[in-house]
Amino acid sequence: MAKKQEAEKELAAKKAELHDTEDTLVKEKEDIESEADSKFIDEIKSTTWNTPEDDFDWERDEKGFGNYSDEERAKLENLYAGTFNSVNKGEIVQGTVVSINNKDVVLNIGFKSDGLVSLSEFRDTPDLKVGDTVDVFVESQEDANGQLVLSRKRAKTQRSWEEINEALENDTIIDGFVKSRTKGGLIVDIKGVEAFLPGSQIDIKPIRDYDIYVGKTMEFKVVKINHEFKNVVVSHKVLIEDDLENQKTEIVSKLEKGQVLEGTVKNITDFGVFIDLGGVDGLLHITDISWGRIEHPREVLQLDQTVNVVVLDFDDEKKRIALGLKQLTEHPWESLDSSLEIGSKVKGKIVTVADYGAFLEITPGVEGLIHVSEMSWSQNLRSPQEFLKVGDEVEAQILTLDRDERKMSLGIKQLTPDPWKNIADRYPIGSRQKAVVKNMTNFGVFVELEEGIDGLIHISDLSWSKKINHPNEFTKVGEELEVVVLELDEENRKLSLGHKQLEENPWDTFETIFTLDSIHQGTVIKVGEKGNIVALPYGVEGFCPAKHSVKEDGSVLKLDETADFKIIEFNKENKRVVISHSRIWEDQRAEARMEDFNNRKKEAKAASSAVKKVKESVEKSTLGDLDVLAQLKEQLEDEESAKRAKK
C-alpha cells in the first residue's frame, strides 16, 4: 500500500515538471515568432515604402482597397464581376474548348470554374479542337467534387425539340437521317431526336422495299408531336404531294381530249389501272384497255410498265383524268370481214354466259349474242349453262347483223335440221312412242321424244285410277315413259301426249263392280282431317269422309287398318268413289230394329185376338170361369213384361 502511494506521488511530480517544460517552450516560441515578425515588418517597411515610418497607415487594408477612393473601388468591383457569368441549372450556354484529353473535353463557359463533358458526346465532330465553341446544357453548377457538370447531348436534344416544334408550328421543312427500318415504317434521326416515318408517308406510290431508304438523308415535314411521350411523326409524302399539286395544275391546264401521253403503270385494281403521267394520275378503266373482254387488267398490263394512252376526258376542278388504251387502235368492227352476212357461219369462243344467253367472240372486240332460244330446237327452254360454258369454241350462224350499231345475233340450232319438219310422218296421232322425262311442273310432265322434240303429258293423263297431286308422285326426271300421241300442232310446235291411254279406260268396268250399296274390303292408306283415302280392289282409291270412318264401338279407322266399306257414290266422269264404313253397321242396326218392331207387332196382334175371344165368351162364362180368365190374363201380362225386360 505504501509503495503504491509513493509511485503515485512520483508520477504526479513528473507530470508537473513536464507541464512547466511545455509552458516554457510555448513562451520561447512566441518570443521567437514575435521577434521574426518584427524583423519582417521592418524589412517590408525599409524595402516597400520609402516613407517615414510615422507617415504609413497600417490600418488602410481594413478600410478599403489600398489607396482607392470609393468611386474607384466601385469601378473595380464592376470590372471584377464582369469577368464571371451567372449560369443557372437547366439552361443552354455556349462554351469554348479549353483542352481535350482521352476521357473528357474541358469547356470554359465564363463561370468561376470550367466544365467537363464526356468525349463520347463529340463522336459526330471528330475534327474538334481547342478554341472551338459548342452549345452545352448546364446539368449542375457544382457536383460533389465542386465540378461544373455540362452535357452536349442534352443541349443538342433540347435544341432539336425546339426546332421540331418550330417546324410543326411554321410548317417548315426539316432534314433527317433514316437510321433503320421498323414495323410499319422507318426510324428517322432529326438532330438527335428519333422520329417515326410511317410507310404510307414515304412516297405517293406504294413502297414495296423500305430498306432502300435506310442510310439516306431526306427532307421531312413534322405532322404530329406527342409531348407527353416525346413522340414525333414525320412525312416525306406531303412534300411530294405539294410538288405534284403544282405539277397537276400545270399538266391539267395543258390537257386536251384525244391527246396521247406516255405514262407508267402505278397501280392495278380489279376495275382498272392508275397511270402516272409525270406528276398527275389518270384512270385507265378495264373497259378501255382492250376491245376484247378481259377478266382482270393484269392480263394485259403490269406494274411499272410504260404505255401510251389517250386522254378521253378530264375534270379541271377535281383533276380527274380518264384514259384509254384500246382507242389507239382501230375498232375491230371496222376491220370485220365484209363478206360476212346473214346466214354466214362463224367460229369463236364463248366469253360470257348469262341467264338469257351467251356471247360468242368471233375476233377480239367483235361479239355476237346466242339467245337461249337459239341454242336448241326444243321448246322446253332450259338454262344456257346446260348448253355452253365460258371457253367453249363453237360454230354458229349469223341471224342478224348491224354493222352501224355493231350488233350481231347468232344461232346454233340452225346448223342442224329442224326436227319439227314433217313431224306428223314420224309421230302420227294415236301412235305409241318412248320419251324421257326432262322436267316437271304442277300441271304435268315435259318429256323429250328426240333432240328438239318435246311434249307435255298433262297430270290428268298419267293414270286412270290413281289420284295424283303432283307428277313427282308418279315419275321422276330421267325416267323413260311410254306415251301415246294425243294432239299435234306443227305450226305452233306443240305436242300433247298421254300415258294412261296405253290402256283401256277401266272405269267402264269399275262402274259394273263398284255399284251403289255394294260392300268391298279396303285398306286405309292416308288419313286426313276431312277423311281418309282407302285402297279398294283393282287399284281404285275411294274417299271415306271422317264421319263415315267411325267404327261400331265409337273409335275411328286408323292408318293401314283394313275394313269393309259400302259404296255410297260413284262418278265415272270425275273418277270419284265415295265409301262409308259406318253405313254398314248403321244399316245392320236399322234392320235389327225393324225386325224387332215387326216381331212385337205380330205379338201385339196375337194378344189382341186372344183378348177378343175372351170378351166374346164372358157372357157364357160362370164365376169360376171368370177366375180362370183372370189367371190367364195375369199370365199373359207377366210373359209380356218378361219379353220387354229381355229386349
**Which pLDDT does position 63 carry in this prediction?**
46
List the CATH code of the domain at 423-502: 2.40.50.140
Confidence category of residue 578, pLDDT binned at 50, 70, 90: very high
CATH topology for 332-415 is OB fold (Dihydrolipoamide Acetyltransferase, E2P) (2.40.50)
Inter-residue contact 476 to 438 (CB < 8 Å): no
CA dist., res. 423 & res. 442, Å (int): 28
pLDDT tens across 264-281, in order?
Answer: 898 899 999 998 887 778
Higher-pLDDT residue of 640 and 476 is 476
**Which pLDDT does position 23 carry in this prediction?**
55
pLDDT > 70: percent of the chain: 79
Is 438 strand, coil or helix? Answer: strand
Query: What DSSP string runs through 367-428?
Result: EEEEEGGGS-S-SS---GGGT--TT-EEEEEEEEEETTTTEEEEESGGGS--TTTTHHHHS-
Region class of 118: left (phi > 0), else alpha (psi between -120 and 50), else beta: beta
Where exactly are the structural domains of the chain?
A: 57-82, 92-156, 171-240, 255-328, 332-415, 423-502, 507-586
- Assign 3-class secondary structure to 11-30: HHHHHHHHHHHHHHHHHHHH
Homologous superfamily assigned to 171-240 = Nucleic acid-binding proteins (2.40.50.140)
| pLDDT at residue 528 is higher than 70 | yes
Angle 500-505-507 (CA atoms, 0-180°, nearest 5)? Answer: 125
Longest CA–CA span in the chain (Å) reads 221
In 3D space, the residue among 178, 174, 123 whose CA is nearest the CA of residue 152 turns out to be: 123
Output the average pLDDT for the chain. 78
CB atoms closer than 10 angstroms to residue 407: 13
**Which pLDDT does position 64 carry in this prediction?**
46
The CA–CA distances, whole Å, from 514 to 160, 520, 582 equal 113, 8, 18
Section 275-303 average pLDDT: 85
List the CATH code of the domain at 92-156: 2.40.50.140
Per-residue DSSP letter, 110: S
> With the C-alpha atoms ordered 96, 101, 102, 103, is the resulting torsion angle positive or negative?
negative
| pLDDT at residue 543 is higher than 90 | yes
The CA–CA distances, whole Å, from 206 to 60, 174, 264 equal 86, 23, 14
CA dist., res. 389 & res. 351, Å (int): 8
pLDDT tens across 9-53, in order?
Answer: 665 565 555 555 555 554 554 554 455 444 444 554 454 444 444
In 3D space, the residue among 216, 166, 154 whose CA is nearest the CA of residue 189 turns out to be: 216
CATH topology for 507-586 is OB fold (Dihydrolipoamide Acetyltransferase, E2P) (2.40.50)
CA dist., res. 109 & res. 63, Å (int): 34
pLDDT tens across 129-187, in order?
Answer: 788 877 777 776 666 566 777 877 777 777 777 788 888 888 888 888 998 888 888 99
In 3D space, the residue among 258, 263, 256 whose CA is nearest the CA of residue 277 turns out to be: 263
pLDDT tens across 323-378, in order?
Answer: 988 888 888 887 788 888 888 888 988 888 888 889 988 888 888 899 988 888 77
**Which pLDDT does position 623 carry in this prediction?**
47
Homologous superfamily assigned to 255-328 = Nucleic acid-binding proteins (2.40.50.140)
Section 193-209 average pLDDT: 83
